[in-house]
Structure 1
Amino acid sequence: MSEPFVGEIRQFPYSFAPHNFAYCAGQLMPIQQNTALFSLLGVNYGGNGTSNFGLPNLQGRAMMHQGNGPGLTPRAIGESDGAATVSLIQAEIPAHNHLMTVKIGAPVNIAVTGTGGYLTVSEQSDGTTRQNAYSNLTNQLVPLAPTMLSLSGSSAAHENRQPFLVIPFCIALFGMFPSRN
């Protein structure tokens, strides 16, 4: 491994941070023992700036560059955004239908749709459709149970992260000081 730059962030597949590296887990570091790193990071990731400063917290996050691109909102150094889980509200779910197909007795497919809270029956055989083909069944139609087509999800949050592989980010505490051109 070549000598890193101070503040360089790398990923390591180990269960520990290598020598002269620290996990990017948002921890506070003393300025007195890490003056070179503090001169590069400042308090962009936390700390009081007099006795300590914070390292970036990349646990469960993806790195993103500062600034902005066409059609994107500006991002500042040290800013975190997004959420690991999200609860959708009804306005965010597109309108859609749930169709079901049932069989009654003989092997004839019946398409059943909800109309006015009741099931309507239309037989589909040989490419023809006849509304209420089984008129003797209309007296057997019953109202749909309210829970059958109600909202679901119980406002529970769903996973919102892109696919990931857990490999920790580590930052170099010591090494070559980067030149400022």
Structure 2
Amino acid sequence: MGEPFIGEIRMFSTPVHMLEKIGGWKDIWLPCDGQSYPTNRYPALYAVIGQIYGRPNAYSFNVPDLRMCAPMGASLSIGNLGSKEGSNSVTLAESQLPIHTHSIQYLINANSSSYTGTPGSDVMLTRLNAPPLTYSGNMLLAPAFITGGEGLENYMDSRTITSYGQDQANIAGHENRQPFLVLTFAIAHDGEFPQN
């Protein structure tokens, strides 16, 4: 494998708990899991990476946390070395939704529970005043598509306009990650000290 540079990060195809059973592995490597370590125990690694990945107090420092992260080359347009950017999921605002359409469903006749998406003179959006009317509280039940009644506000039945994607009440962040392969990242705390 060759002696690593202190601060070098390598990928392993084996879980940390198995790597730690390999003789000498822990003498060189620490998992990249964001953990804090004492500066006096790993002075060479601290001299190389310093506080770039966090420092909870004056006597310890953090190693990089590459769990659930994809490494990216440092760049002014992306962020400073050690910064965490991006998001695993994104919830779109209404202004970000693409232009789209919804279809309207019409009752075929007042006494029917059948409906159609085609408008015409023999179809309706409502069956108000058309028996039989069945209410649950203030809501007129199926097969009405626009509900309400005398003295009641009119509520549009959820079947009147077809939904587009998820219902507004159930919108959650959508997956925002590229395809990935999960590996173990580890950073060398011992080895060759990098020269300036």
TM-score (norm 1): 0.70
| Corresponding residue number in structure 1 for 2:162 | 149
How big is the alpha-carbon RMSD for the aligned residues of Structure 1 and Structure 2? 2.4
Residues 27, 141 of structure 1: alpha-carbon distance in 2 compared, 3 angstrom cutoff: same
Deviation (angstroms), 1:52: 0.6
Deviation (angstroms), 1:138: 3.0
| Corresponding residue number in structure 2 for 1:179 | 195
Q: 2:121 matched to 1:138?
A: yes
Match of 2:55 among 42, 47, 56: 47
Q: 2:104 matched to 1:96?
A: no
Sequence identity of aligned pairs in percent?
Answer: 33
Segments ≥4 residues shifted beyond 6 Å: none
| Corresponding residue number in structure 2 for 1:8 | 8
Report Cα offsets for 1:103-157 as digits up to 9, x if no partner.
xxxxxxxxx86xxxxx43xxxxxxxxxxxxxxxx631344664454346352211
Q: What is the CA–CA distance in structure 1 between the aligned matches of 2:91 and 2:184, rounded to whole Å?
A: 27
| Corresponding residue number in structure 1 for 2:38 | 30
Do the aligned residues in 1 keep the contact of 2:36 with 2:56 (CA within 8 Å)? no
Matches within 5 A, 1:152-167: 152-153=166-167, 154-167=170-183
Q: What is the CA–CA distance in structure 1 between the aligned matches of 2:99 and 2:163, rounded to whole Å?
A: 13
Do the aligned residues in 2 keep the contact of 1:43 with 1:49 (CA within 8 Å)? no
Whichever structure has more strand as a proportion of its residues is 1
Deviation (angstroms), 1:25: 0.7
Deviation (angstroms), 1:76: 0.7
TM-score (norm 2): 0.65
